[in-house]
Amino acid sequence: KLAAGEYGAEQPGRVMAHFGRTLEVRDTSHQPVRCHLRANLDGLVTGDRVIWRAGQEGSGVVVAREERDSVLKRPDARGQLKPVAANIDQLLIVFAVEPAPHPNLIDRYLVAAEATGITPVLVLNKTDLLPDDGGELGTLLERYRALGYPVVRTTTANDAGLDALRQQLEGRTSVFVGQSGVGKSSLIDRLLPDETLRIGALSEDSRKGTHTTTTARLYAMRSDEVANGELIDSPGIREFGLIHLDEQDVTEGFIELRPFIGHCRFRDCRHRAEPGCALLDAVEAGKIHPERFASYRRILDSLDA
């Protein structure tokens, strides 16, 4: 038993949620502990791996943050990019059979994902609405699979519809992003059926006056199907993808263009009609899909506008 002002040994944990300088940290046996931040620490976000020490009455103090593998950022009220979640392994970009995505939209999401360095995964939801032959969307997604992107098909309409998704979540920390109406809430509800899990362990009073609806929360997915999957979610995170991109982000975000960049005859080549353009030559030679290239140029043009 610890006396006042006394702290236990240092141990690893992970930030599940934060409310100002109060953090909900999960210990290695997945128990939540309410921690405060040591004075010299700042800017911790959900998903951070931390070192903490137990104090009195089930509380603790976070004394250090471990190096982050990845960071997801969102613009704040002043348009400044701020970290909102850390140590994410994959961005699940959700699309639906209805409303059908514009192909350009998939590319925009992939460009934004590539800019974060977090692995994007395409999730096609509402497959119960797909025609038997798979439809145009099926063909389109095969193109992305050929580029190396994982593609998962889901439906919340029956029990088997989430099996592939559960496999994709196993052993990783994931976030769901995508346009409204594609079924993100429905998918998450099915993955996290336990209401108490979703609300979290911190008592109501510690949240008063804080922005609970905008800060991200980490959920452990523990079921017969997923033993070790983690989900980080917040309304703001779901809107990821609508961030500002610059020209370099866009060019590097089309991964199949990368081998050809820097090989154009003119150093300032804009890959439109210039002679000796390595990208146009690659499209001509069938090494880059013409629709992906058209999409690339459309996104570039939208930056100029």
Q: Which of 76, 39, 84 is nearest to 61 (CA)?
A: 39
Please identify, among the stretches 46-54, 134-142, 199-207, 264-272, the one whose residues bind Zn ion according to the rule CB under 5 A.
Answer: 264-272
Report in angstroms the alpha-carbon separations of 254 from 14, 109, 232.
Answer: 33, 11, 26
CB 278, min distance to Zn ion, A:
6
List Cβ neighbours of 195 (8 Å cut-off, separation of 6 or more).
Answer: none
CB nearer to ligand GDP: pick between 36 and 198: 198
* Burial of residue 208 (number of CB atoms within 10 Å: 0-12, 13-18, 19+): exposed
Report d(CA 61, CA 75) in Å as an integer: 29
Contacts of 192 (CB under 8 A, 6+ apart): 198, 219, 221, 231
Binding span for ligand GDP by CB under 6 A among 24-32, 113-121, 153-161, 224-232? 153-161
Does 180 contact ligand GDP by CB under 6 A? yes
| Residue 125 interacts with ligand GDP (CB under 6 A): yes or no | yes
Q: Which residue number, 93 or 250, has a Cβ lying nearer to ligand GDP?
A: 93
Nearest to 278 by CA among 265, 293, 295, 291: 265
DSSP 182-222: SSHHHHHHHH---HHHHH-SS-GGGGTTS-TTTS-EEEEE-
269 binds Zn ion (CB under 5 A): yes
Cα–Cα nearest to 174, from 101, 113, 126, 124: 113
108, interface contact from ligand GDP, Zn ion, none, CB < 5-8 Å by kind: none
Residue of 15, 277, 283, 288 that binds Zn ion (CB under 5 A): 277
CA distance 38 to 221: 30
Token digits of residue 102: 């514009």
Number of residues in contact with ligand GDP, rule: CB under 6 A? 14
> Which residue among 271, 283, 293, 296 contacts Zn ion (CB under 5 A)?
271
Residue with tokens 């969307």: 137
* Structural tokens at position 21: 């300088």
Asked if the bond preceding 32 is cis, omega within 30° of 0, the reply is no
| Binding residue (CB under 6 A) for ligand GDP from 41, 105, 130, 157 | 157
Q: Give the nearer residue to Zn ion in terms of CB position, either 237 or 269.
A: 269
Sole window of 35-43, 135-143, 149-157, 262-270 interacting with ligand GDP (rule: CB under 6 A): 149-157
Coarse DSSP helix, strand, coil percentages of the chain, rounded to the nearest 5 percent: 30, 25, 45
Q: Is the dihedral of CA 7, 13, 14, 16 positive or negative?
A: negative
For ligand GDP, give the closer residue by CB, 203 or 213. Answer: 213
Residue 98 or 194: which CB sits closer to ligand GDP?
98
Q: Is 126 in the site for ligand GDP (CB under 6 A)?
A: yes
Of ligand GDP, Zn ion, none, which one sits near residue 155, judging by CB under 5 to 8 A according to partner kind? ligand GDP
- Options 54, 264, 283, 299; binder of Zn ion; rule CB under 5 A: 264
Size, binding site for Zn ion by CB under 5 A = 5
Is 118 near Zn ion (CB under 5 A)?
no
Q: Report what 264 binds from Zn ion, ligand GDP, none; CB cut-off 5-8 Å by kind.
A: Zn ion
Cβ-based nearer residue to ligand GDP, 130 or 201: 130
CB of 195 to ligand GDP, least distance (A): 16
Which positions lie near ligand GDP, rule CB under 6 A?
A: 125-126, 128-129, 155-157, 180-186
